[in-house]
Amino acid sequence: MSSPERPETKRLRVVSSSTDEVQPNIDSAGDAEACPRCFGTGMEVMPGEGARRCSCQTPDYRAKLFQSARIPPRYQHCTIQNYVTGNDETSKWAAKIEADRIINDFLVNDGRGLLFVGSVGVGKTHLAVALLQELIQRYQVRGLFYQFGALLRRIQDSYNPVSRNSELTVLEPVFQADVLVLDELGASKPTDWVRDTMMQIINTRYNDKRLTIFTTNYSDVRRNDKDGEILEDRIGVPLRSRLYEMCKTVVIEGDDYRKRKLAQTV
């Protein structure tokens, strides 16, 4: 007798057993990572009993998702609610609205993410992490946070001249994460290897329509000769062009929050 056909992996809205909150399941990247009981659907079929909510939807499972997301302890407190926006900081309000839109429209999102651009201390990383944490909490997605330089160092440290298996071990979670936050894009010295590695990551996620959130300190506009490098200089023309298609650019302006906070304590 042939084995039953596996159901197609997709996001489904399932009802929590403890509350009336409706929560979609994690979107599996493939059979290798799908739950063996529900195959990524969130509903487990029990012979003679019908369908029930799968155990992968429990709070313990959500806690594992947060742990595997690699969010640094310094940013684990970040939420949409505690993102500080002053009454006259219109760009921060606009950025917060864009983050809310991504969260609320996640189930119908076609993979187009956000690129938060701004100087240091305006809250780019806070907002990106807050968005990631809300998506994990609400939709049980597989999320991942990496600082641009740290990711490149991990790839370099794993490099094996004989086999690329170790390098792919680092890259695979980056490729497959439902939501990736890549912080401080362009922070590392722009070499051919850096550009090629980033293009591989970006192209893979772009083709798979996986949501990616970027932050960068480098603007797209060089206002004068003293401004130094712009984002295109740091990551290359082809990659910046792809990001226009892959992400909506959101410019955040304002004073350095850390410097302002320090001045208030003196």
Q: How far apart are CA 98 and CA 211, in angstroms?
A: 14
Alpha carbon 204 to chain centroid distance? 14
At residue 54, the pLDDT reads 78
Greater confidence (117 vs 41) lies with: 117
**H-type alpha helices, the chain:** 59-68, 90-104, 124-139, 148-158, 165-176, 192-207, 231-235, 237-246, 257-265
Share of the chain above pLDDT 90, in %: 55
Tokens of 229: 């490098």
At residue 263, the pLDDT reads 58
Q: What is the DSSP letter of 163?
A: -
Burial class (CB in 10 A: 0-12, 13-18, 19+), 179: buried
Average pLDDT estimate for 140-152: 94
The lowest-confidence range among 37-41, 178-182, 225-229, 236-240 is: 37-41
Q: How far apart are CA 246 and CA 19, in angstroms?
A: 36
Q: How many C-beta atoms surround the C-beta of residue 85 within 10 A?
A: 17
pLDDT, one tens digit per residue, over 217-256 is 999 988 777 778 999 999 999 999 999 999 999 999 987 7
pLDDT, one tens digit per residue, over 213-223 is 999 999 998 87
Q: How many CA atoms lie within 13 A of 96 on its CB side?
A: 16
Q: What angle do CA 184, 150, 194 make, to 5 degrees?
A: 75
Question: Do 143 and 65 contact (CB within 8 A), yes or no?
Answer: yes
At residue 91, the pLDDT reads 95
At residue 36, the pLDDT reads 67
For residue 34, what pLDDT band results from cuts at 50, 70 and 90? low
Residue 21 scores a pLDDT above 50:
no
pLDDT, one tens digit per residue, over 63-92 is 999 999 999 999 999 999 999 888 888 999
Average pLDDT estimate for 188-202: 90
At residue 9, the pLDDT reads 40
Question: Do 147 and 183 contact (CB within 8 A), yes or no?
Answer: yes
Tokens of 109: 């999102």
For residue 166, what pLDDT band results from cuts at 50, 70 and 90? confident
At residue 168, the pLDDT reads 82
Tokens of 141: 């997605």
Q: How far apart are CA 209 and CA 83, in angstroms?
A: 28
At residue 51, the pLDDT reads 78
At residue 7, the pLDDT reads 41
